[in-house]
Structure 1
Amino acid sequence: MASYKAPLREIGFVLNDVLKVERLSELAVFQDATPDTLSGLIDEAAKLIENQLAPLNAVSDAHGCKLEAGEVTVPPGFTEFYKMYCEAGWNGISQKSEYGGAALPYTLGKVVEELLCSANVAFALYPGLTAGCFEALEASASDEIKQTYLPKLANGEWSGTMCITEPQAGSDVGAAKTKATPQDDGSFLIDGGKIFITSGEHRMAENIVHFVLARLPDSPPGVKGLSTFVVPKFLVNADGSIGARNGVSVQSIEHKMGINGSVTCVMQFDGAKGWIVGKPNQGIQNMFVMMNLARILVGFQGLGQCELATQNAIRYAQERKQGKAFNGKAEIIEHPDVRRMLLQMKAVTEGARVLAYETAIYVDIARHHADPAVREAAQDWVDLNTPLVKAYCTDSAVELGSTAIQVYGGHGFIKEHGVEQIVRDSKILCLYEGTNGIQAMDLVRRKLMMHNGRLPQRFFDAVKADLVNGPESLVAPLKQALESLESTTRWIMETYKSNPDDAAFGCCDYQRAFALTYLGWNWLRMVRAANAGSDAVYARTKQVTAEYFATRMLSQVPALLGNVRVSAAPMMELDAAAF
C-alpha cells in the first residue's frame, strides 16, 4: 500500500528560502501571515491529512461511489473527514473574512491543496470545486447572491460545482444548449442536461450549489450567447434555511479509470430554479474566472501525485533488495538505472513545486498589492504560468506514476502496493479543465501575444538577470535553453498569423520546452538557496539533482524547439481518410 508523509522540509525550503514568502506579510491584508504562522498552519494541516485522509486512499479507490434511488453514497470515511476538515476551518482558509473565511493567503490554500492531493486526490475534488464555485460567485454575483451562498460555501456546510459540459459541448462550450427561461419574479427556469459534473450529487454537505452555463431565449449563438446561473440543489428560504428540493437531479454516475472516490455525474435540470450571475451573455467571461483558477488547482493536483509517486519510489528503492549493484550493495537504489529514475522523479517534483508555489504567490500579489504596476506584473506572471502549471505538473504526474511502477518492478503492477493507482488517478488531470493540448494552444495563441509579448519577455528578463550568479554546470545549459526558447518565441509571434498550423502542431513541444526552461531556472535558485544554508548534505543533494536536470532534461529544450519550427504543411495536407 502506498504511504504518504507531508514533505514539510521541502515545502518550507521552497516557501521561505527560494521564494521568500515573507513578502506576503508585507501586504496590508496579510500582516499576520508571517512565515512562522504559515509554517504552523501547514504543520497542523499535514497532521490531519496524514493521519485521517491518507489511509482512506486505497479504500476509496476500491469502494468508489454508489448511486441508489437518486442518492449518491461516497466512500467510507469521506463524510467523517469532510466534517473534520470543515470544522477545522480548512475549507475557507483563503476566503474573505466577511464571508466567514480565515482571509489567509491563496498560497497557503494551495499548499494545503498539494497535501490533500497527495493523500487522496479524489477527496480533494470536493472542497476544490467548492472553492472554485465560491471564487466565481464572488467575482460576478450580486450582493444578495453573495450573502446567501458564500458564507455557507466558505464553511463547507454547502458544497459547489461547475456545470459546463454537455454531450455535444465539451471544449466547444459555445455549442451548449441548456436553456434559461426568465420568470416574472426575476428568477430563471433552467432546462437541459450536463455531463462530467464533479461532486454533482452527494450528502456530505447540506446543499449543493451548481454554477451553471446556460442560454437565454433571445441570446446570440455561440459563446457570445451564454450566461451563468446559480442553481441550488435545495432552494434557500428568505431566512437562509434549506427549502424545497429544486428541479435538478443526478441521472447516472460515471465508472471511471481513476479518482473513483470522486463522484462524476450526469445531471438533469428540469425547470430548476436559478438566478443569473453577472450580466446576460457574459457567461463565458464569468466562467473563466473559475476556470483559470481551476487550472492552477489541477496543476496542484498533479504536483500532489508527483510527490506521492516520488516518495514511495524512493522508500521502496531504499528497502528493496534485489541482486547486487556494481558496488556490491543489494538495495536497488544502488543500481544506476534505478538511481537515474529516482533523480528524474526528484528533479521534476521539486522543480515543479517552485513553479506551482511561485504562481500562487503571484496570485496573492496580483490581488492585494498596493502598487498597480506591481499588480499588473504579478498578473502577467499568473497568466503566463497557468498553462505551464496545469500541463507540466499533470503530464508529470502520469509520467512519474509510471516511473514509480517501473521502480517497483512487477510489484508495481499489483494493486496492493498502491502505485498503479497514481497513474489511474492522474490521467484525468491531463484532460479536465481544458486538455493539456488546449493549455499549449492557450500559451501560444493568447499568452505569447498578449500586450505585444510582454508576458514571456518578463520571464526572459528575470532569468537573464539571474544567470550572472551560479555554478557554470547549471548556468551554461540554462543559458542555451533560454536563448533557444527566446528565439523560437519570436519566430512563433512573427509567423503565427501566416502559418497558424505550424504553431498549433508544435505547441505541445513548445509548452514542454518552456516548462523545462522554467524548471532549469528553479533549480539554479534552489541550489543557490541550499548553499546559503547550514546543511551541507542537503545542499549537496540539491546540487546533484540540479546537475541531473541540467544535463539530462534541460538538454531536451533545443530539440523540442527544433520540432516547433518544422512546417506542419505535409501533415495537415494529408487527407483525413488516409489515416
Structure 2
Amino acid sequence: MTTYIAPLRDMHFVMNELAGLDALSSLPALEDATPELAGAVLEEAAKFATEVLAPLNKTGDEQGARLTRDGVVAADGFGAAYQQFVEGGWNGLSGDPDYGGQGLPELLHAATVEMWNSANMSFALCPLLTAGATEALRLHGSQELKDRYLPNLIGGEWTGTMNLTESQAGSDLAAVRTKAVPEGDHYRLYGQKIFITWGDHDMTGNVIHLVLARTPDAPEGVRGISLFLVPKFLVNADGSLGQRNDVHCVSLEHKLGIHASPTCVMSFGDQNGAIGYLVGQENKGLAHMFTMMNEARQKVGIQGLAMAERAYQQAREYAKERIQGKPAASKSSTAVAIIQHPDVRRMLLTMKAQVEAMRGFAYVMAANADYAHRHPDAGERNRYQTRVDLLIPVLKGWCTELGQEIASLGVQVHGGMGYIEETGACQYLRDARISTIYEGTTGIQAADLAGRKLAADQGAAMAELIAEMRELALELERSTDTRLFPVGAAVATGMQALEDATGWMLRALAKAVDEALASSFDYLMLTGYVCGGWQMARAALAASRKCAAGEDPAFHEAKIATVRFYADKILPKANSHLEMLRSGASSASDIAIEQF
C-alpha cells in the first residue's frame, strides 16, 4: 500500500491561482489568512495526515469499530490519533473565534479536509459530522445552547452527529416517526435512527446528537419535523458532565467499506425518554437540518476528490514499479514499467486530469462560501451564496461519482493485483462507494439541482455562471499561447452544451416534470464536467503566465498538458450527457413494472 503524500504543490496552485487566497485576506476577520500562513498550515496538516492518519487506514479497515457492553470502541490507534488531532487545533480551524475557533478561511479548511480523507476516510468522517452539527447549532441554536455546547464541539473535546434516517423512512423524511414530548424546559425523545456515522465511540467524553423528531401536535409530513439536541451525557450548568442520557447504540452495521467508522443504530428513550433540547423553532427542523446537510454535502464532495487522489497515487506508484511487457512500438526485448504502456498512461492521465478538475472546482466553491459568509456588502454575500446553493449538489454528486470511477480505474491499473486486498487498491474503491449514497444519493442531488435550484430562479444563477464561462472562452481565444486554443474551443463547446441543457430542462420542468427528473442525473453530470473544464481552463491560463515568467516550468508545463488532456478526452462527455438528457424519460416510462 502506497504511503499517502499530500499533493501540496497542486494544492498551493489551486488555492492561490484559482481560489484567490490572497484576495480572501481582504475580508473582515481574515486579514491574517495570508498565503504564507496557509503554506505553514498545509505543511503541518500534510505531516499529520501522512505520519499519523495514513498508517491507521489499513489496520482500521481490517479491525473495524466494535460494539461492547460499554458502548462502541474505536479501532486501535484512533483514540490517540484523535487526541493529537484536537491538540493540534485541527478541529477548530475555521470555527467561530467567539467559541474557541481559529476563524481561518473555509478554503483552507477544505484543503485539510481533503488531506484527512485521503489519508484515512473512516477517521475523517468523525470531525466532518461534528463540523456540520456545529454550524447548525451556531446558526439556529439558542444562546444558552451555543454557550453550553459550541466551545467543546469546536474544540473537538466533544463530537457531533446527524440523526435523520429511520428504517421505514429511508430518504423520505416526511415519514419520520421519532417523537419528542415536551417536559418543562426540555423534551423527551422516543424512537430509533439508523445509519448514524460515529453515533457512539470512546474517543471523547460526550457525543452530541442533532435529531429530527415530531412533537405530539405536529402536522403530518416534513412541515411537522423539529430539530433537537440530545447529548450522550447531560451537561450541568457549570459545563461538567452529568448523568448518562437515555440514548444508546444498539447495533453496528456491517458494511462494504469505511469499517473503522462506526455506523450505528441509535435508540432514543428505551427507558424514561432521552432528554433533548429544541434547536430553533418547532416544525422548522428540516430547514434547520439543511444547514448541517449542506455542510456535510460540501465535505462529502471533497471526500470524492480525496479518495480519487489517494487511488491515483496508489496506481501511479504501482505503475512506475511494476515491470511487465514492452510497448508495441519498442524494438527492445527488455520489459519496462507498465507506466510506459499507452493504455496505462491513458488511465493514469484520466485519473490525474479529473482529480485536478475536482480540486479546482471544490476549492473555488469553498472560497465562494467564504465570500458568502464574510463579504462586507450584503448584495455580494447574497450573490456568492446563490452560487454556492446552486452548485453544492453538483459538487457532492459529480465529485463522488468520479471518486468511485477513479478508484475503480485504480484497481484496473493494478491488473489482477488490484483485486487483492494486500495492495490496498481495493479499500479505496470500497470506501469511496458510500460517498454517492449518504447525505443524499446522486439522484437526490440531481433532483435538487434541477427541480429546486434551477426552477427557483428560472435558471438566472446558471445563466450568470455560463456568462462567466463565455468570457473565459474568449480570453483563451485571445491568448498568445497557442497551446490554449484547443482548450478555449472545448470550453466554448461545453458551455454551449450546458446552456442548451439548461434551456431544455427549464422547458421540461414547465411541461413535464417527470421528463425533467428522468434526465436530471445527466444534467448534473454535464454541469460537473463543464465546471471542471471551467476551472481547468483557468488553471491553463495561470500556468501559461507562470511559464512565461520562468516560474517552476516543470510543474506548469505538466499542468497545461493535463488541462489539454481534460479538454480532449474528458470534457466531451458533456455532449454525451446532453444527448442522453434530450431523450427525457425515453423508454424507461414505457416499460410496465412487471416487465422489469
* TM bracket, shorter-chain basis: over 0.9
- In 2: Cα distance, 1:290 partner to 1:5 partner: 30
CA displacement, residues 72-119 of structure 1 (integer Å, 9 cap, x when unaligned) = 111111000000000111111111111111111112111110000000
Check conservation: 1:502, 1:565, Cα contact below 8 A: no
Verify: 1:515 aligned to 2:528, yes or no: yes
Give the letter for the 2:503 counterpart. R
TM-score (ref. length: structure 1): 0.98
Give 1:559 shift: 2.0
**Structure 2: unaligned runs, 5 residues or longer:** 477-483
Verify: 1:31 aligned to 2:44, yes or no: no
| 2:165 partner SS | coil
Aligned to 1:357: 363
Aligned to 2:564: 547
| 1:26 partner SS | coil
Give the letter for the 1:75 counterpart. A
The 10-residue stretch of structure 1 (511-520 or 450-459) with the greater mean CA deviation from structure 2: 450-459
Aligned to 2:513: 500
- In 2: Cα distance, 1:559 partner to 1:158 partner: 47
The 10-residue stretch of structure 1 (288-297 or 11-20) with the greater mean CA deviation from structure 2: 11-20
Check conservation: 2:227, 2:288, Cα contact below 8 A: yes
Aligned to 1:434: 440
Aligned to 2:268: 269
Verify: 1:17 aligned to 2:34, yes or no: no
| 1:243 partner SS | strand
Aligned to 2:131: 131
Give the letter for the 1:480 counterpart. T
Correspondence list, 1:155-304, <5 A = 155-183=155-183, 185-270=184-269, 271-304=273-306
- In 2: Cα distance, 1:557 partner to 1:50 partner: 36
TM-score (ref. length: structure 2): 0.95
Verify: 1:450 aligned to 2:452, yes or no: no
Give the letter for the 1:57 counterpart. N
**Structure 1: unaligned runs, 5 residues or longer:** none
Give 1:497 shift: 2.5
CA displacement, residues 377-424 of structure 1 (integer Å, 9 cap, x when unaligned) = 111211122011111111111111111111111111111110110010
Give 1:573 shift: 3.4
Check conservation: 1:180, 1:214, Cα contact below 8 A: yes
| 2:251 partner SS | strand
Correspondence list, 1:102-141, <5 A = 102-141=102-141
Give the letter for the 1:272 counterpart. A
Check conservation: 2:372, 2:382, Cα contact below 8 A: yes
Give 1:558 shift: 1.6
The 10-residue stretch of structure 1 (541-550 or 5-14) with the greater mean CA deviation from structure 2: 541-550
- In 2: Cα distance, 1:19 partner to 1:237 partner: 43
Give 1:502 shift: 1.4
How many residue pairs get aligned? The number is 578
Give the letter for the 2:65 counterpart. C
- In 1: Cα distance, 2:552 partner to 2:67 partner: 53
| 2:72 partner SS | strand
- In 1: Cα distance, 2:350 partner to 2:78 partner: 34
CA displacement, residues 414-442 of structure 1 (integer Å, 9 cap, x when unaligned) = 11110110010001100000001111111
Check conservation: 2:2, 2:317, Cα contact below 8 A: no
Aligned to 1:563: 580
- In 2: Cα distance, 1:272 partner to 1:18 partner: 47
Check conservation: 1:394, 1:430, Cα contact below 8 A: yes
Q: Which of 378, 401, 413 is the aligned partner of 1:372?
A: 378
- Percent of pairs identical after alignment? 43
Give 1:535 shift: 2.5
Q: Which of 301, 308, 320 is the aligned partner of 2:322?
A: 320
- In 2: Cα distance, 1:301 partner to 1:197 partner: 18
Verify: 1:49 aligned to 2:49, yes or no: yes
- In 1: Cα distance, 2:573 partner to 2:108 partner: 33
CA displacement, residues 234-278 of structure 1 (integer Å, 9 cap, x when unaligned) = 011111100000000111001110000100000100100011000
Aligned to 1:423: 429
Give the letter for the 2:418 counterpart. G
- In 2: Cα distance, 1:268 partner to 1:386 partner: 31
Check conservation: 2:131, 2:295, Cα contact below 8 A: no
Q: Which of 343, 351, 375 is the aligned partner of 2:349?
A: 343
Check conservation: 1:165, 1:194, Cα contact below 8 A: yes
